Amino acid sequence: MLETGIKGHQELTVTAEDTAKVHKSGTLDVLATPRMAALMEETAWKSVAEYLEPGMGTVGIKLDLEHQAPTPVGMKVWCDSVLTEVEGRKLTFSITAFDESGKIGEGFHQRFIIEETKFQSKADRKKQG
C-alpha cells in the first residue's frame, strides 16, 4: 500500500556519458543537471513501483530541483527520496542528491499513477493525427 514515508535510493558513478558536455547542458566534464534530474526521477519511481497493482506505473509531472555543486567524472553520486504526500493518484517526493564530498542537489518531484497500456495507447494515438 502506498503511504508517506516510503524511501528510495539509487546511485551511479559519473562517466563521460553523464556530463554536461554530452547532455548539451554546458561545456564541462561534470555531472549534468539533466542527468541528476533523471537520477532523481528514477529514485522516486523505483521506490514506489513494488507498491502498485500489476499494469500500473507512474509518470513524472513536475520536478523542482536545485543543482548546488559540481561532481567530476569518476565520482560516486547517490540520490535519496522520501514519499511525502499521497493525494489520490498524485505522489510528491522530497529528493536529495549527494556525491562523496557532500550534498550536490535537492528538490521536490511529483508523479502520477497511470495504467500503463492505456497511457501508452493514448500517447501512440498522437502519431495517427
Written as nine digits, the cell of 10 is 539509487
Of 91, 105, 93, 88, the residue nearest 7 (C-alpha) = 93
Write down the catalytic residue from 11, 23, 33, 84. Answer: 33
Active site residue 33: yes
- 105 touches 99 (CB < 8 A): no
Active site residue 67: yes
Write down the catalytic residue from 19, 43, 58, 67. Answer: 67
Task: Report the alpha-carbon distance of residue 52 to residue 113 in Å, rounded.
Answer: 9
Write down the catalytic residue from 41, 71, 106, 109. Answer: 41
Amino acid at 26: G
Task: Report the alpha-carbon distance of residue 126 to residue 119 in Å, rounded.
Answer: 12
Written as nine digits, the cell of 94 is 522530497
Catalytic residue IDs: 33, 41, 67
